[in-house]
């Protein structure tokens, strides 16, 4: 009996210790995950490789964000964007070459995939395939960062050698990390954060906007015809599109804006409100994270009449401006830095100038939500050269 008492006593202790151990391990696990997120991403989920880190989009420290934003802002001025027209034209020509090969009417063109190639040639070719998703994502992150490290190092060597370097985003990224002789590991990581940030923030959003725009035009032949007429009148047979031409393409601008109302590639954003406030008589409690959904607002009858109808005339220059209910690029100081980046307009203008496209019947027009919005069916088209406009 005494032996039984002793044993049950010790087993009781062992169970209590075991529970304590599990609780401590669980707590340590939680703290570890929290630390990894604070350090790398601020996005919930299992620990992962560093992705956007403390780059412009994901920086949560105001000072750190402000310093970067001040350095990056000039790279997005109109003057700088004018200087980029050559690059936009050249990149868009790559897509036109690919479409020319598909315009024999025998092959279908997967437009989402093709518009992604305009800006992501190398990366998509290298992307690992047929791997389990987590492994694939992890390898893609590593690949992006190692490709970024190579680009940065090449540019830094060029700067150090006094070579002529373009005043582009990469040069700004180098500036954002300071120009110390000795770069710390932290500086290097920071530059890579911004390299990946700009690639993701600018490339995928623009590609999805283009694909949605092609999908919407394919479903509305009357609007397609109208925008094609405008492009013919403004661009004619010219190969090189100028900055001034872009300003004259007002109906195309309306089409692109309406595309973003119905299909915002970055559908929502969050803001951390630390203190209580009252806006227009509505009390906003502090200590809360608020989600602002551009997709939902864009489809509310309260803000847009007949919201499920694709109607570019909502954005006619004489129409009343939407008031804080249309924000595909977000609003305020953390709004999109690249919203005046006119690559999408150049690509659409060239596409409309040279090709007829029609949606292959039977495909889905659903939207896929994976953080960003993209057309689920991939926008598969039959493409043909436009009658008298073979370039």
Look up tokens 């500086």; give the residue: 187
The distance of closest approach from Cβ of residue 244 to ligand HEM in the complex, given in angstroms and rounded to an integer, is 21
Indicate which single residue of 42, 50, 220, 334 sits in contact with ligand HEM (rule: CB under 6 A): 334
d(CA 152, CA 1) in angstroms, rounded, equals 75
For 244, residues 6+ apart whose C-beta sits below 8 A from its C-beta are: none
377 touches ligand HEM (CB under 6 A): no
Asked if 298 touches ligand HEM (CB under 6 A), the answer is no
CB closer to ligand HEM out of 254 and 269: 269
**Site stretch for ligand HEM (CB under 6 A), options 195-203, 216-224, 229-237, 238-246:** 195-203
Residue with tokens 């604070």: 38
Determine the Cα–Cα distance for residues 249 and 342; give it in Å rounded to an integer: 12
Rounded Cα distance between 189 and 202, Å, is 20
140 with 388: CB under 8 angstroms? no
Kindly tell me which residue out of 206, 228, 254, 353 binds ligand HEM, with binding defined by CB under 6 A.
206
281: left (phi over 0), alpha (psi -120 to 50) or beta: left
| CB 294 within 8 Å of CB 328 | yes
CA torsion sign for 129, 135, 138, 143 is: negative
Q: How far apart are CA 163 and CA 172, in angstroms?
A: 16
How buried is 76 (Cβ within 10 angstroms: 0-12 exposed, 13-18 middle, 19+ buried)? Answer: middle
Residue number, 114 or 336, with CB nearest to ligand HEM: 336
Q: Give the orientation angle of helix 250-262 with respect to helix 205-219, to 10 degrees.
A: 100
User: Given the DSSP bridges, would you call strands 268-273 and 288-293 parallel, antiparallel or unpaired?
Assistant: antiparallel
Which of 80, 243, 310, 329 binds ligand HEM (CB under 6 A)? It is 329
Q: Is there binding between residue 337 and ligand HEM (CB under 6 A)?
A: yes
Least distance in angstroms from the C-beta of 283 to ligand HEM:
23
- Per-residue binding string, ligand HEM, 247-286, x by CB under 6 A, is -----------------xxx--x-----------------
* 310 binds ligand HEM, rule: CB under 6 A: no
| Least Cβ distance, residue 360 to ligand HEM (angstroms) | 25
Size of the site for ligand HEM (CB under 6 A): 21
The interface region with ligand HEM, picked from 198-206, 298-306, 307-315, 380-388 by CB under 6 A, is 198-206
Of residues 57, 177, 215, 231, which one binds ligand HEM by CB under 6 A? 57
CB of 95 to ligand HEM, least distance (A): 16
141 annotated to a ligand binding site: no
Rank residues 264 and 298 by Cβ distance to ligand HEM and give the closer one. 264
Which DSSP string do the residues of 351-374 spell out, in sequence order? HHHHEEEEEPTT----EEEESEEE
Q: Output the known binding site for heme.
A: 336
**What residues make contact with ligand HEM under the rule CB under 6 A?**
56-57, 69, 198, 201-202, 205-206, 209, 264-266, 269, 328-330, 334, 336-338, 341
């Amino acid at each position: 009996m005494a032996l039984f008492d002793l044993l049950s006593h010790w087993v009781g202790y062992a169970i209590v210790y075991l529970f304590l151990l599990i609780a401590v391990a669980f707590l340590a696990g939680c703290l570890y995950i929290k630390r990894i997120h604070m350090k790398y991403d601020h996005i919930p989920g299992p620990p992962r490789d560093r992705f956007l880190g403390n780059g412009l989009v994901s920086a949560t420290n105001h000072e750190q964000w402000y310093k970067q934003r001040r350095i990056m802002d000039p790279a997005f001025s109109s003057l700088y964007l004018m200087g980029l027209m050559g690059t936009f034209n050249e990149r868009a020509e790559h897509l036109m070459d690919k479409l020319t090969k598909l315009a024999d009417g025998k092959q279908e063109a997967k437009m989402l995939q093709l518009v992604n190639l305009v800006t992501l040639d190398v990366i998509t070719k290298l992307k690992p395939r047929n791997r389990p998703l987590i492994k694939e994502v992890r390898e893609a992150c590593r690949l992006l960062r190692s490709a970024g490290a190579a680009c940065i190092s090449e540019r830094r060597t060029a700067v150090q050698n006094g070579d002529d370097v373009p005043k582009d985003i990469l040069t700004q990224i180098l500036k954002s990390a300071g120009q110390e002789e000795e770069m710390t590991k932290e500086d290097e990581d920071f530059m890579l954060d911004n390299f990946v940030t700009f690639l993701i923030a600018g490339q995928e959003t623009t590609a999805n906007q283009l694909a949605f725009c092609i999908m919407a035009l394919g479903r509305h032949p009357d609007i397609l015809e109208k925008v094609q007429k405008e492009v013919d009148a403004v661009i004619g047979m010219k190969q090189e599109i100028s900055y001034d031409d872009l300003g004259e393409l007002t109906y195309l601008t309306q089409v692109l804006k309406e595309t973003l109302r119905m299909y915002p590639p970055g559908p929502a954003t969050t803001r951390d409100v630390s203190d209580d406030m009252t806006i227009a008589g509505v009390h906003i409690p502090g200590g809360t994270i608020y989600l602002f959904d551009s997709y939902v607002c864009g489809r509310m009858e309260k803000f847009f009449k007949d919201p499920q109808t694709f109607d570019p005339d909502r954005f006619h220059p004489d129409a009343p401006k939407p008031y804080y209910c249309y924000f595909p690029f977000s609003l305020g100081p953390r709004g999109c830095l690249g919203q005046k980046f006119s690559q999408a307009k150049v690509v659409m203008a060239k596409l409309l100038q040279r090709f007829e496209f029609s949606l292959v019947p039977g495909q889905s027009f659903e939207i896929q939500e994976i953080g960003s919005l993209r057309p689920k069916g991939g926008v598969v088209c039959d493409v043909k050269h436009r009658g008298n406009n073979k370039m």
